[in-house]
């Protein structure tokens, strides 16, 4: 069984659209005011707690740190004061550290209803029972709705102690008053945390003997269940909403300046500090991010009176610390830094401390790199006011099988569709030296997003897989619980659909010939709503060889409304790095007769925890980007001065998000990710 990484990617995509998905994700309560400052004058501090919040969250907070991610819970002392006090006493004693989710139960005999923990500790010698405190009497005041946290008990209604469970589904009737008086609900999951609980509920279960008859496991096929197969609770800790208000905060803040030579920014806990540098106008983008990566941003306009002052360089974006490449290959390696300073800084790349002749731009590209070029790469950024050296990026070559060599395996697009709107995803199957057939899974989920907390979902998605320049290969309206599709979902680690009767769509093709394909999708009746479209490489790792075709390109084309973003998640599998060319094409589509293209797309590449790795606004007609585009088969952007955006970058394995936003206007946009040999 593959490691379950895709639900976490889905979590990141949900977070990027959180303002529409969940009510308890970060929200801006008031716009931070515009500022007028003087160059070299006093800094201004803005308390961000006055402008951002978690809507509807008023009770005490705790954070669960689990094997599959973190989630936050709001406790309800107004409804169950004794149970909240009891639970917090266990939290304060760190009782739940290194405990396990020991039960994943289908209470009505069908889909999993609850996931349960808090009863058993994993130690060096195996499992043991958590020490119990005095039982708590029943306080049934809230229904066992999906997403709530409740107290486990025996048939004695006043027997609740340390154990708790999360309601994966709505169990209001099953666990209501008619069931022995009901079960006490004392909290609720907030934000996008249910993606973690759903990921646990979707895992297979085994009977490991009482009391572990319904034990959720991961990476398990057969034999004896070990520690690596368990879903652990690393800790449960008290939390606050804002950083600085306690040892653990749900929100964190970041800020960037569009013109650091005008205004520099810093964030200290919940305080934004604006320091005027030189005359001009700048925009400060402030982002509030919660534990699960959901975010909301505000733009603050800052006008600084005076003249520009000299400033030493500062690096705002660093190259990756470590890039492992496959031995025996000669890949393209692309490193970059981003820096500010006045006057404009100069760049000099170094290898093992020695300057590389001619490498004096913010990017370093090694074409057909060999093992002789392994080493530690840095970039010295300097101007007349000083210099700074980037972090070191160590490039090395390691032994790697074809299955371990970095490659694209997934594209996921979460978006809200307007009435009648269609979207097109694309891929090219192939790669140098490959031949034979390829297994592909394509999905579009609407109704099944309800189990992930999405309410405004597309009611009846449908899709078609089309060969480039050829016929429709396959189409699907309702997936119908087809066993081959369910098996394909499980094989790639995709979240399961809600039921066999759900109106979600999916296509599995175990043997596609190489070439280009598109996936055309939308609602059957043109209804609006959220949907997630996904494309997976379905070739099992055990069958992957150097001749197996790959997803050498994945793409999506759609209309991005003004003020909105397109969020495209992709995954690089394996143990070695992969260089990719990422393009956001708006104006460049006009030559193909595409109407109303986005005039000025901006491209950001985000990694873990929504950290910005690289960004580009206008591609600038760079020779390296032009040559790389030609090498991977991308259509040429004829105008070097166009406002299209591009990034050439080498990335370690993992999940990434390309976020495209229009500057001032929306329109048709094509987002592409290419493998670069």
- Residue 525's pLDDT is 94
Per the model's pLDDT, the better-predicted residue between 592 and 110 turns out to be: 592
Domain ranges within the chain, ordered by starting residue: 27-52+252-309, 61-239, 312-368+376-382, 409-560
- pLDDT score of 520 more than 90: yes
Contact 73, 189 (CB under 8 A): yes
What percent of the chain lies above the pLDDT cut of 70? 96
Look at the domain 409-560 and name its fold: Jelly Rolls (2.60.120)
- Residue 13's pLDDT is 42
With cut-offs at 50, 70 and 90, classify the pLDDT of residue 292: confident
What percent of the chain lies above the pLDDT cut of 90? 74
Q: What is the mean pLDDT of residues 295-323?
A: 87
Q: What is the mean pLDDT of residues 533-541?
A: 94
CATH 2.40.100.10 assigned to 61-239: yes
Among the listed ranges 85-99, 557-571, 578-592, which one has the minimum average pLDDT value? 557-571
Q: Say which CATH architecture domain 27-52+252-309 belongs to.
A: Sandwich (2.60)
Angle at 16 between CA 14 and CA 19, to 5 degrees: 85
Contact 289, 295 (CB under 8 A): yes
Rounded Cα gap, residues 336 and 612, in angstroms = 13
Contact 636, 626 (CB under 8 A): yes
Q: Would the CATH topology of 312-368+376-382 be identical to that of 409-560?
A: no
To the nearest whole number, what is the mean pLDDT of the chain? 91
- pLDDT score of 545 more than 80: yes
Among the listed ranges 8-22, 26-40, 428-442, which one has the minimum average pLDDT value? 8-22
- pLDDT score of 14 more than 70: no
The pLDDT tens digits of the residues spanning 190-200 come to 998 998 999 99
With cut-offs at 50, 70 and 90, classify the pLDDT of residue 341: confident
The pLDDT tens digits of the residues spanning 498-519 come to 899 999 999 999 999 999 999 9
Entry pTM:
0.64
Contact 440, 427 (CB under 8 A): yes
Look at the domain 312-368+376-382 and name its fold: Immunoglobulin-like (2.60.40)
Report in angstroms the alpha-carbon separations of 326 from 370, 445, 575, 640, 658. 10, 36, 9, 34, 25
Per the model's pLDDT, the better-predicted residue between 1 and 231 turns out to be: 231
626 Cβ contact list (under 8 Å, min separation 6): 636, 637, 640
């Amino acid at each position: 069984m593959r490691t379950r990484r895709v639900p976490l990617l889905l979590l990141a995509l949900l977070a990027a659209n959180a303002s529409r998905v969940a009510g308890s994700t970060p929200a801006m309560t008031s716009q931070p005011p515009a500022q007028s400052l003087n160059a070299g004058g006093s800094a201004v501090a803005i308390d961000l707690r006055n402008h951002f919040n978690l809507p509807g969250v008023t009770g005490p907070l705790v954070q669960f740190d689990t094997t599959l991610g973190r989630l936050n819970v709001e406790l309800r002392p107004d409804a169950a004061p004794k149970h909240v006090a009891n639970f917090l006493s266990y939290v304060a004693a760190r009782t739940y550290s290194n405990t396990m989710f020991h039960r994943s139960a289908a209470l009505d005999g069908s889909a999993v209803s609850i996931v349960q923990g808090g009863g058993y500790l994993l130690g060096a010698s195996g499992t043991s029972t958590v020490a119990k405190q005095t039982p708590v009497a029943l306080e049934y005041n809230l229904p066992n709705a999906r997403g709530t946290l409740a107290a486990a008990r025996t048939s004695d209604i006043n027997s609740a102690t340390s154990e708790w469970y999360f309601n994966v589904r709505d169990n209001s009737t099953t666990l209501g008053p008619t069931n022995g008086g009901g079960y006490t609900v004392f909290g609720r999951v907030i934000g996008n945390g249910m993606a973690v609980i759903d990921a646990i509920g979707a895992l297979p279960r085994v009977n490991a003997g009482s009391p572990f008859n319904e034990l959720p496991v991961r990476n398990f096929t057969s034999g004896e269940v070990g520690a690596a197969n368990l879903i652990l609770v690393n800790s449960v800790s008290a939390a606050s909403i804002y950083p600085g208000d306690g040892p653990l905060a749900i929100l964190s803040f970041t800020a960037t300046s569009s013109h650091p030579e005008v205004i520099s920014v810093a964030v200290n806990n919940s305080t934004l500090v604006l320091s005027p540098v030189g005359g001009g106008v700048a925009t400060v983008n402030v982002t509030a991010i919660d534990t699960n990566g959901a975010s909301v941003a505000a733009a603050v306009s800052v006008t600084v009176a005076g003249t520009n002052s000299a400033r030493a360089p500062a690096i705002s974006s660093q190259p990756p610390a470590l890039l492992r490449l496959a031995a025996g290959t000669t890949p393209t390696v692309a490193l970059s830094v981003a820096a500010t300073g006045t006057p404009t800084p100069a760049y000099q790349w170094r290898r093992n401390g020695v300057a590389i002749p001619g490498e004096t731009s913010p990017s370093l590209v090694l074409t057909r790199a060999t093992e002789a070029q392994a080493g530690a790469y840095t970039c010295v950024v300097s101007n007349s006011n000083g210099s700074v050296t980037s972090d070191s990026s160590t490039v090395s070559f390691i032994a790697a099988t074809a299955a371990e060599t970095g490659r694209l395996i997934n594209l996921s697009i979460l978006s809200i569709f307007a009435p009648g709107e269609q979207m097109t995803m694309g891929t090219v199957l192939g790669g140098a030296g490959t031949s034979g057939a390829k297994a592909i899974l394509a999905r579009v989920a609407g109704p099944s997003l309800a189990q992930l907390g999405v309410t405004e979902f597309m009611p009846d998605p449908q899709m078609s897989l089309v060969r480039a320049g050829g016929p429709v290969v396959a189409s699907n309206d309702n997936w119908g619980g087809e066993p081959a599709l369910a098996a394909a979902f499980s094989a790639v680690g995709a979240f399961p659909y809600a039921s066999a009767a759900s109106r979600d769509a999916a296509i599995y093709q175990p043997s596609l010939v190489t070439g280009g394909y598109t996936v055309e999708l939308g609602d059957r009746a043109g209804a609006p709503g959220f949907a997630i479209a996904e494309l997976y490489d379905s070739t099992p790792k055990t069958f992957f060889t150097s001749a197996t075709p790959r997803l050498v390109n994945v793409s999506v084309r759609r209309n991005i409304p003004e003020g909105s973003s397109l969020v495209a998640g992709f995954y690089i599998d394996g143990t070695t790095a992969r260089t990719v060319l990422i393009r956001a094409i708006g104006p460049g589509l006009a030559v193909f007769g595409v109407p109303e293209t986005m005039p000025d797309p901006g491209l950001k590449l985000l990694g873990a925890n929504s950290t910005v790795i690289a960004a580009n606004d206008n591609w600038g007609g760079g020779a390296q980007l032009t040559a790389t585009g030609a090498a991977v088969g991308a259509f040429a952007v004829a105008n070097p001065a166009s406002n299209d955006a591009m990034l050439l970058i080498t990335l370690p394995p993992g999940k990434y998000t390309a976020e495209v936003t229009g500057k001032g206007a929306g329109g048709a946009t094509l987002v592409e990710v290419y493998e670069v040999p």
